[in-house]
Amino acid sequence: MNGTDWDALAVSLATCAAVAGAVLLAAFAVAGRRGPHRVVDIAWGLAFGAVAVVTWLLSAGHGDDGRRLVVATATAVWGLRLAAHIARRSRGHGEDPRYTALLDKAPGNRTLYALRTVYLGQAALVWLISLPVQAASYSSAPLGPPAFCGIALWALGFAFEAVGDHQLARFKADPANRGRIMDRGLWAWTRHPNYFGDGLVWWGLYLLACTAWQPALAVLVSPVLMTLLLTVGSGKRLLEKHMARRPGYAAYAARTSGFLPLPPRRSARGGPGSTR
């Protein structure tokens, strides 16, 4: 990150930690007054958007204007779309089974345990994962080949995630599909097109923090951590543990890639299946 204003970046890092904490603490207050802790999933996207906007404001006069605008816009658009999608999906539903299972294991006060592990934990993750956003905003280097590759990767990931979410929402909205497993469109190529898209988005944002083809090692933790969360952390692993009880899911999993999009494997009958 040649040409980075390190003192200004340090101030931004501290400020953004406070911003992420404030958004997640606001979500904790909402959950305390209105009910389920699943509101934290909405706050997750909003916190990234808030960090992007605050970083863009603080980095004025310190980083390249083109890079600042691109990384702030890309992050905010991703975060706001995700928050809006989860808000729509959650309307009318109770607590997320993941949080019920987690809090059932709480040693002592469930509320304080939720604050520590769910809200403050996610605030720390927002800050850590957003490191490329902050680093890119304070680089004075103009946009170059790595950044343009990052923009393309972000766009592909964003489209993959948004299209996958839209396809699933339409599938669930049809009463004829009640109890069936979604295996159409992008969902025929990967069991988690939304998670795969998320991963691409953050690898794209990482490339925006690289001013040359040499990797920006200081912020490499961001896309690596996000990919691990999506595949072996609280994303794919926990969702599939819940879905495994659904009729037909084992057959769907046997023919469909778990993360990377791949052509559906042929079933024993000679063709891909059509229901979960």
How confident is the model at residue 216, as a pLDDT?
A: 77
* CA 32 distance to own-chain centroid: 24
Q: What is the number of other CB atoms lying within 10 angstroms of the CB of residue 274?
A: 12
How confident is the model at residue 244, as a pLDDT?
A: 84
Alpha carbons 47 and 251: distance in angstroms, whole number: 37
How confident is the model at residue 215, as a pLDDT?
A: 63
The burial class, CB within 10 Å (0-12 / 13-18 / 19+), for 275 is middle
Alpha carbons 151 and 164: distance in angstroms, whole number: 20
Look at the block and give the residue holding tokens 């990384």.
Answer: 71
Assign residue 248 a region (left: φ > 0; alpha: ψ between -120 and 50; beta: otherwise): left
Please give the angle made by the CA atoms of 170, 158 and 264, to the nearest 5 degrees: 60
Q: What is the number of other CB atoms lying within 10 angstroms of the CB of residue 178?
A: 7
| pLDDT by position in tens, the chain (length 276) | 456 678 888 999 999 999 999 999 999 999 888 778 889 999 999 999 999 999 999 999 999 999 999 999 999 999 999 999 999 988 877 777 778 777 888 888 888 989 999 999 999 999 999 999 999 999 999 999 999 999 999 999 999 999 999 999 999 999 999 989 999 999 999 999 999 999 999 999 999 999 866 567 889 999 999 999 999 887 788 788 878 888 899 999 999 999 999 999 875 443 433 333
User: Phi and psi at residue 185, in whole multiples of 5°?
Assistant: 60, -135
Give me the residue spans of the domains in the chain.
6-255
Alpha carbons 4 and 8: distance in angstroms, whole number: 9
DSSP letter at 4 equals B
Closest CA to 115 of 49, 25, 179: 25
DSSP letter at 18 equals H
How confident is the model at residue 98, as a pLDDT?
A: 78
DSSP tally for the chain: helices H, then strands E: 12, 0
pTM of the model: 0.89
Contact assessment for residue 52 and residue 77, using Cβ atoms and an 8 Å cutoff? no
Q: What is the number of other CB atoms lying within 10 angstroms of the CB of residue 145?
A: 11
Give the max Cα distance, the chain.
64
